[in-house]
């Protein structure tokens, strides 16, 4: 587990040059990258870097990276790796200072960023937890956005910020923001539900979006908010993803490689390619055959609002996979495993249960 966590943290350390005050936040031009279909190992086209600097601010990407580094510090400090944990903390501090000294969003074309205050909020909270320096906590409070929270996404981390602030301060305003969010998300709120019970917030990545909310519901419950209600709802959302749904006769897992029925054509370049030295290009993109490489653990975009799903590679709405989608999913699973280990797993009541 530590090796899996260390891999991206090492990447972040390499991406941040504290001497030059530069953060590499993107590799490759999006239009060229999207037009290429094949193995990443076979790429030969130019892949220029995009860099955040004093002249080209990137408080959002810098703040998010600083938050990850600060959290990584806590993980490896707990492991007893003092040298590496201190390296992570020093990088987090300098990157956060860079983000706050040169405020601005990184760019708007690849993944539009509407604001950077949510990332700065997360960075300051995790730095507070890492250092117990009250200044970080006070700064986190200044980044609060009082607008309604639509979802927890790569562009909106306000819910996570509110939950962490509630854990640190126990102030009612933060608890109210969390409760208001889940009042919208749970049945009877404003979020639409599919006939079989998936909280369907948006067309793109509905499973990942529901999983991230399920994860935060488990975190909120652990802090004493609506414990039974939130845990039951979170488990039911994950159950839908893993089989309590109607696709292909039911018991269909949207996690690739899990159970006997799962997506065979996730929209993923490397997974669609045969073993080397066989050639791989757009012919594999359009081939109506299972991916030669099983992308074990990935969850696909998911069904439409009527529980309908097509397992075809060219349809990236249904079948695209993203680290973003998996982040909340695996975190929610960890929370559920924890509940199971302490005999507090709630009884679920999914509308389309898998009876196998």
What is d(CA 98, CA 219) in angstroms, rounded to the nearest whole number?
30
What is d(CA 196, CA 207) in angstroms, rounded to the nearest whole number?
13
Residue given tokens 């054509």 in the structure block: 265
Number of H helices, E strands in the chain: 14, 5
316, 199 contact by CB (below 8 A): no
Contacts of 274 (CB under 8 A, 6+ apart): 280, 284, 292
Q: Digits of tens for pLDDT over the chain (356 positions)?
A: 899 999 999 999 999 999 999 999 999 988 899 999 999 999 999 999 999 999 999 999 999 999 999 999 999 999 999 999 999 999 999 999 999 999 999 876 677 778 999 999 999 999 999 999 999 999 999 999 888 899 999 889 999 999 999 999 999 999 999 999 999 999 999 999 999 999 999 999 999 999 999 999 999 999 999 999 999 999 999 999 999 999 999 999 999 999 999 999 999 999 999 999 999 999 999 999 999 999 999 999 999 999 999 999 999 999 999 999 999 999 999 999 999 999 999 999 999 999 87
By residue count, the chain amounts to 356
Residue given tokens 């699973």 in the structure block: 333
Query: How many Å is the Cα radius of gyration of the chain?
Result: 21
Alpha carbon distances (Å) from 95 to 22, 53, 138, 185, 349: 9, 11, 18, 34, 45
pTM: 0.95
191, 183 contact by CB (below 8 A): no
């Amino acid at each position: 587990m530590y090796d899996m966590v260390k891999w991206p943290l090492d990447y972040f350390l390499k991406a941040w040059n504290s001497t030059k005050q530069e953060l590499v936040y993107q590799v490759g031009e999006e239009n060229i990258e999207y037009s290429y279909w094949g193995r990443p190992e076979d790429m030969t086209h130019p892949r220029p870097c995009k860099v955040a600097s004093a002249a080209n601010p990137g408080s959002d990407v810098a703040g998010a990276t600083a938050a990850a580094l600060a959290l990584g510090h806590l993980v490896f400090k707990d492991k007893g790796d003092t040298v590496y944990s201190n390296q992570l903390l020093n990088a987090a501090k300098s990157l956060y200072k860079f983000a706050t000294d040169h405020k601005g969003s990184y760019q708007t074309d690849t993944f539009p960023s509407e604001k950077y205050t949510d990332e700065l909020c997360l960075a300051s909270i995790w730095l507070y937890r890492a250092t117990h320096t009250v200044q970080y906590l006070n700064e986190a409070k200044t980044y609060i956005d009082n607008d309604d929270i639509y979802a927890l996404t790569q562009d909106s981390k306000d819910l996570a910020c509110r939950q962490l602030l509630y854990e640190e301060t126990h102030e009612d305003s933060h608890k109210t923001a969390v409760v208001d969010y889940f009042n919208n998300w749970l049945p009877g709120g404003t979020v639409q539900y599919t006939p079989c019970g998936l909280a369907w917030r948006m067309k793109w990545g509905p499973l990942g979006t529901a999983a991230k909310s399920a994860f935060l519901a488990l975190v909120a419950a652990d802090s004493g908010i609506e414990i039974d209600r939130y845990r039951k709802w979170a488990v039911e959302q994950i159950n839908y993803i893993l089989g309590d749904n109607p696709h292909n006769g039911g018991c269909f897992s949207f996690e690739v490689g899990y159970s006997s029925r799962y997506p065979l054509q996730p929209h993923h370049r490397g997974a669609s390619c045969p073993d080397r030295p066989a050639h791989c290009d757009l012919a594999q993109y359009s081939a109506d055959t299972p991916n030669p490489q099983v992308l074990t653990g990935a969850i696909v975009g998911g069904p439409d609002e009527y529980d309908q799903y097509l397992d075809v590679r060219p349809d990236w709405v249904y079948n695209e996979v993203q680290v973003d989608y998996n982040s909340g999913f695996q975190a929610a699973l960890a929370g559920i495993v924890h509940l199971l280990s302490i005999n507090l797993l709630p009884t679920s009541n999914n509308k389309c249960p898998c009876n196998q």
